Chain A
Amino acid sequence: MSEAALLHNSLMLGAILFAVGMVGMVVRRNMIVMFLCAEMMLQGVSVSLVAWGRFHNDFGGQMLVIFILTVAACEAGLGLALFVVLFHRSGNLDITYWQELREENQAAFMDREVPEEDREKTIWPQLTPSGVEPAANPEEELHRSRV
C-alpha cells in the first residue's frame, strides 16, 4: 500500500468532512444539527491527524485524537444541557430566537428578512367529505355520556 497516496487521500477525506460540517454549521438553523455539524468538523480534523501520525510513524496524532474525543464528550454533555435549558425557555430549537440576546444597554442588532415559512406551501391534503352528516339526536344526548 502506498503510504504517500494513503496520506493524500485521507487528508482529502478529512477536508471533505470538515467542509461539509462547515456548510451545515452555517446553513442549518436547528441548534442540535448545528452542534452535530461541529462534531463532524472535529471528525474531519481527526481523520487528518491520524493520517499524519501514520505518515510520520508517530503516536502523536492518535494521542491528539484521543483528547479530541474526551473534549468532544465534555462539549456534548455541556452543550446538550444548555440546549435543554434554552428549549425550556423558548419552546423551539431555532437559533434565530436568540438573536436578540445581548447586554442590557446595547443596541439591538437583528438579522432582518430571516426566511419564514410560506403558508401556502404548507397546506395539508384534506379528504373530501362524503355522504350526509347525520343529524344530532337530542334524546340521545340526554342519556349518553360524552365520548
Chain B
Amino acid sequence: MLTANEHLIGSAVVAALGLWLMLPPSGERLRALGLVVAASGLGWLMSRMPGLGTWAADAAFWSLAAATSAAAVATVVSRNPVYSALWFALSLLGTAGVFALQGAQFLAVATIVVYAGAIVVTFLFVLMLAQPDGTAYYDRVGWGRVTSLLACACPAVIVGVLAMMLSSSLAGFEAGTATVAELAANVRHEEHVARLGGTLFTDHLVAVELAGTLLLVALVGAVAITAQDRQKTDARKTHGGGASR
C-alpha cells in the first residue's frame, strides 16, 4: 500500500500528466484522454484532503474548488483565446465563492465586479479587436511537447511537496485555530463590511491614497501609450513612410 505522502505526490503527478496531454499540440483524442487523467488526478488529490467537519461545508467547498480548478485548467488548454477568457471568468466566480465561504463577503463581490466584470471584459474587447477569427497557429502549436512536459513537471513537484508539508503541519494548525466566538468578534463579525472599511481607512490610509495614485498613473500611462502609437503611425502615413514597421 502507498503511504500518505506517496498518495499526494502521485496524485499531483497524475494531474500534471493529464494537463500535459491536454496542452496545445495534442489532437482531440489525446485531449479527451488528458481530461480523464487530469480529472482523476485532481479527484485523487482532493480525496486525500481533510474533511471540513459538516457535510454541507464539505459539499460547498469541494464543488467550488472543483469548478475553480477545472475552469483554470480549461483556461490554459483552450485553443481559442476568447474561450480562455470566458473560462477564466468562471474560475473567478469559483474563487469568489470560496471567498464568500470563508466570510470575506466584500472580496467575493469585489472579485466579481472588478475582475469578472471589468478586467475580463476588457480582455475580451482587446481579443476581439486583435484576433477576430478565433484560433491562430500559435495557439494551436504552442512551444512543443518537451517544453510543455517540463513546464508541467515543475508545478507538479510544487503542489505535491506543498501538500506533503501541509499535511504534516495540520496538527500545528489545529492547535492555533481561533474559536468561533473570537472569529465572530473580528473577521466574521456581523457587520463585516463596516469592520473591513474601518480597518482599511484607519490602518491602511496611506496605502489607499497610494493605490488611488497608482490607478491614476496607470490610466494616464495607458492613454499615453496608445496615443503615442497613433501619433507615430499618423506621422508615418503623412510623410509617406508606407511601411508599417
Residues of A within 8 A of B (CB): 1-13, 15-24, 26-30, 32-33, 35-37, 39-40, 43, 46-47, 50-51, 53-59, 62-63, 65-67, 69-78, 80-85, 87-90, 92-96, 113-117, 122
Residues of B within 8 A of A (CB): 19, 23-25, 42, 45, 49-54, 57, 61, 65, 68-69, 72-73, 75-76, 81, 84-85, 88, 91-92, 95, 98-99, 102-104, 106-107, 110-111, 114-115, 118-119, 122-123, 126-127, 129-131, 136-144, 147-148, 151-152, 154-156, 158-159, 162-163, 166-167, 170, 173-174, 176-178, 182-183, 186-188, 195-196, 199-200, 203-204, 207, 211, 214-215, 217-219, 221-223, 225-226, 229, 233, 244-245
Assess whether A32 is in contact with B81, with CB atoms less than 8 Å apart: yes
Assess whether A2 is in contact with B159, with CB atoms less than 8 Å apart: no
Q: What are 21 A-to-B residue pairs whose CB atoms are below 8 Å?
A: A5-B52, A12-B159, A15-B158, A20-B72, A20-B155, A21-B72, A32-B130, A46-B95, A50-B102, A53-B187, A54-B103, A58-B187, A62-B187, A69-B114, A70-B211, A76-B119, A84-B129, A89-B245, A93-B136, A93-B138, A94-B136
Q: Which residues of A contact B156 (CB under 8 A)?
A: 19
Taking A27-B76, A35-B123, A47-B98 as known contacts, 9 extra A-B pairs with beta carbons closer than 8 A to each other, sorted by chain A number, are: A13-B68, A18-B155, A36-B84, A40-B72, A54-B188, A77-B222, A81-B223, A92-B136, A93-B81
Q: Taking A76-B123, A115-B25 as contacts, is the C-beta distance between A20 and B73 under 8 angstroms?
A: yes
